[in-house]
Amino acid sequence: MRNFKLFYLLAFIVSGLFIVSCNKDQNHENSVDNQLSVDTRSSSFNPMVSVTKESDYLVFNSFSDLDQFLAEANTTSHTSLNSWENQKGVISQRQVFYNVMTAETNLDLSLENLSEQAQLVEKGKEPYHSTEHNQALNSGLIRYYGQAPNSYWDYSLVEPMVASAVNLNGLVKVGGQLIKYSNSSFIYIIKDGDIAKLPLAISKTDDFENTDIKVIKTKPYNPEGSGPNTETEIRSLCYSLPHENTFSKTNGWRTTGKRRTKVEIDGRANANFGSVECVYGTGCTFQVRTQAQKKNFWGNWGYHSDFGPSCTISGANWSYYMTLMPTCSDQATAYYNNITGGNHPKPVWNRHIPWTNNGFFPMHPTTSGWWVWNDKKICTTIDMQSYNIPLTYNGDSTWGLVR
């Protein structure tokens, strides 16, 4: 069962979306800024699942609990999350990112409030950044993506979706297993949670597994990736062979004056075809990725704590197909938009998030996005026959997340 839980972890593929009544006319930029300058999301954070602390990292009872925590955290305000983390005595990589974003915004405001002559002097200098930015960059917690003059800083974490759950070293414990998400291309799993075994895992430079550790080498996160050959690989912690279908939709940046936005969806269906314990499971999930940036004092792109458009998704739905059989030799039964017993019908999503500029939002067909059967074998991974995700982000409803 533990083997399957490992697989279940990073079959995340998540989603969610946003709407902003942002007027794109440059003449209304100031009033729009006023509408988007305050993060109006939940002012307090009280996760529904049990979360404890060991050393300086968070501990979750199960991958399902981790899923639930991330779904809640990724739709909650940064200030409330910071407060919760401070009470717990931990610092997540998300908090570092938000603190950098706030410091960079404050630096911009201080420069824009200078006299015209003083601004000319500063613009003549090589662009510089806040102390928080430089510390995060030097620590490898952020890095730059894209090509100048459109490059920008973002997470360096191999899976930014978990940034709210991992500490500065990328550590989190789930179901007794210690997991380290690197800031490059690796995920390390210590099977019994013994941190003393972590150096051995980190010494590995490729996929590796023994009785104590498992090392997964995957493509590092790249928000500027596009097309099917550059999509992030499945971050599966499965011990058996995973099967996968991909239903992603990649959009380019849309620029209006000194602002630009982007919405993408990473859709994946994954199946664990079992182990000696005959535990079988499958999942089909979406991760919606939102980005909203402004130009800074020198005209360079970046995330700002005073620019967070809202996003609305209304009546989104999908159609899926899969087959199951009681044993490997029995005749398979096909299921269209409904799994056994009517427990998992075709989902319809409705969601509104009032503020987001760098979000990772899951939209699962069930609470965790995973189904498990102890009495049936999965014959085919879920096949997404079609989906339609009407959404509005930054006042733009033409992102076209349709298959």
202-237 pLDDT, tens digit each: 999 998 889 999 888 887 788 886 433 333 333 333
pTM reported for the whole predicted model: 0.80
Helices (H), 225-266: none
Instruction: Say what the pLDDT of residue 332 is.
Output: 62
Q: Could you tell me the pLDDT band of residue 249, with boundaries at 50, 70 and 90?
A: confident
Within 10 Å of residue 186's Cβ, how many Cβ atoms? 22
- CA nearest to 153, candidates 164, 140, 142, 163: 142
Q: What is the mean pLDDT of residues 297-307?
A: 96
In angstroms, the CA 104 to CA 128 distance is 10
Domain encompassing residue 248? 2-402
Hey, what are 237's tokens?
Answer: 């912690």
| Burial (0-12, 13-18, 19+ Cβ within 10 Å), 325 | middle
Hey, what are 104's tokens?
Answer: 């960079």
Within 10 Å of residue 78's Cβ, how many Cβ atoms? 21
Hey, what are 341's tokens?
Answer: 């017993």
Q: What is the mean pLDDT of residues 149-158?
A: 94
Greatest mean pLDDT among 3-17, 34-48, 142-156: 142-156
Instruction: Say what the pLDDT of residue 18 is.
Output: 29
Would the pLDDT of 380 be above 70?
no
In angstroms, the CA 196 to CA 190 distance is 9
**b or e along 187-225 (b: 16 or more beta carbons within 10 Å of the residue's beta carbon)?**
bbbbbebeeebbeebeebeeebeeeebbbbbbebbebeb
| Beta-carbon-side half-sphere exposure of residue 95 (alpha carbons within 13 Å) | 17
Hey, what are 380's tokens?
Answer: 């085919």
Hey, what are 342's tokens?
Answer: 């009517």
For the chain, the domain total comes to 1
Hey, what are 291's tokens?
Answer: 């980005």
Q: Which of 250-264, 275-289, 301-315 has the lowest mean pLDDT?
A: 275-289
Place of tokens 């990649």: 250
331 and 267 Cβ atoms separated by less than 8 Å = no
